[in-house]
Amino acid sequence: MKTSKTTSLPWNEALRALQQGRSPLVITHRSPDGDAVGSLLAMGLLLKALGRRPTLACQDPVPTRFHYLPHHQEVVSEVPEGSFDLVISLDCSDRERMGQVYDADRLASLPLLNIDHHVTNLNFGTVNLVVPTAASTTQIIYELVQRLSVPLDVPLATCLLTGLVTDTLAFRTANVTPQVMEIALRLIRAGASLYTIVQRGLVEQPLSALRLLAVGLSRMQVEGHLAWSEVRLADREATGYQGDSDAGLVGRLISAEEIRIAAVFKEVKDGRVEISMRAAPGYDVSGVALRLGGGGHPAAAGCTLNGSLEAAKARVLPLLRAALAEQEDGRHSEH
């Protein structure tokens, strides 16, 4: 992150906010993934090292796969009474991603430090430490840890490495640079267990997840270089899968060498549909997600729509077809 491109990033403003806030409220995104939980707990440890007593909040519970992370029990889904003087948002591309724990009536007048790596980030904070070249939000927090000379102990290294490992699918994504590997090496040297993080945070799944995956794969639709599938609420009941993820389905669709863009439509509670999108290297789904009120990275993005599965497909598939056609044209004209 020490390239000339990033010298204009507000590192000093972010450090000042961290040092000035006495009672920070730290929030990560709803439906938290490994980077969300890892960055929330790492920020908690960093603030405690600075002598603060942070409140760590997330609308949805920490998934059991991350229960190896130290202090995960401290994350609350209801913000307690008390006065805060700083809000820190982690791994959220817009204010809405913080979900119900961000109560605007109570918090909108406070300074908001937005720390994130999504290219679609709306810069909704008072200070926006947004680094799209970072492979994870924990990579940005690692840099803050260095700049604040906070000692890297095993719990902190474990939280930081969890974000790096899960957002890069164990260092397999196109944004993994030598610098990412160097940071990972330092975190492993500090005592983080790469094996535990890869196994528990990324690989292990209950049998019910495999059953859900089988159902999802059986519904795969392919049209040229585009693939999609869906997961219905009834499928979760039938397979007994408790989580709210797609059990890795969209990752399997994009792994097909013929496929450039893939999407999974997940029916969720309250008449909404969550859409997970993936793009092969050289393609970009973040623009479509942003247009639909969501966000993400070029290779992995998502959004949530109200209405039925059929309505969601009718809205999203034409946009994905158009993005694919446009991006294929762009690639041909480059050669």
Residues lying near ligand AMP in the complex (CB under 6 A) are found at: 93, 97, 276, 294-297, 300-304
Minimum distance from residue 274 beta carbon to ligand AMP (Å): 6
Question: HEC profile for 209-266?
Answer: HHHHHHHHHHCCEEECCEEEEEECHHHHHHHCCCCCCCCCHHHHHHHCCCCCEEEEEE
Query: Taking CB positions, which residue lies at the least distance from ligand AMP?
Result: 302
Is residue 116 a contact point for Mn ion (CB under 5 A)?
no
Scanning 5-13, 89-97, 144-152, 257-265 for contacts with Mn ion by CB under 5 A, the matching segment is 89-97
Using CB distances below 5 to 8 A depending on partner kind, what does residue 299 bind out of Mn ion, ligand AMP, none?
Answer: none
Pull the structure tokens for residue 304.
Answer: 């949530």
Is residue 167 a contact point for Mn ion (CB under 5 A)?
yes
Using CB distances below 5 to 8 A depending on partner kind, what does residue 39 bind out of Mn ion, ligand AMP, none?
Answer: none
Pull the structure tokens for residue 171.
Answer: 């260092």
Scanning 29-37, 60-68, 255-263, 327-335 for contacts with Mn ion by CB under 5 A, the matching segment is 29-37
Of the candidates 14, 18, 33, 213, which one interacts with Mn ion according to CB under 5 A?
A: 33
Max Cα–Cα distance, the chain, nearest Å: 60
Is residue 35 a contact point for Mn ion (CB under 5 A)?
yes
Using CB distances below 5 to 8 A depending on partner kind, what does residue 43 bind out of Mn ion, ligand AMP, none?
Answer: none
Using CB distances below 5 to 8 A depending on partner kind, what does residue 21 bind out of ligand AMP, Mn ion, none?
Answer: none
Alpha-carbon gap, residue 85 to 173, rounded angstroms: 37
Using CB distances below 5 to 8 A depending on partner kind, what does residue 93 bind out of Mn ion, ligand AMP, none?
Answer: ligand AMP
Strands, DSSP E only, in the chain? Answer: 24-28, 55-57, 86-90, 112-116, 127-130, 221-223, 226-231, 261-268, 272-279, 295-296, 300-306
Query: Taking CB positions, which residue lies at the least distance from Mn ion?
Result: 35
Minimum distance from residue 148 beta carbon to ligand AMP (Å): 26
Nearer to Mn ion, 31 or 229 (CB): 31
Per the CB < 8 A criterion, the answer to whether 93 and 121 are in contact is yes
Alpha-carbon gap, residue 195 to 219, rounded angstroms: 33
List for the chain the helix, strand, coil content (%; round to 5): 45, 15, 40
Using CB distances below 5 to 8 A depending on partner kind, what does residue 97 bind out of Mn ion, ligand AMP, none?
Answer: ligand AMP
The contact set with Mn ion (CB under 5 A) reads: 33, 35-36, 91, 137, 167
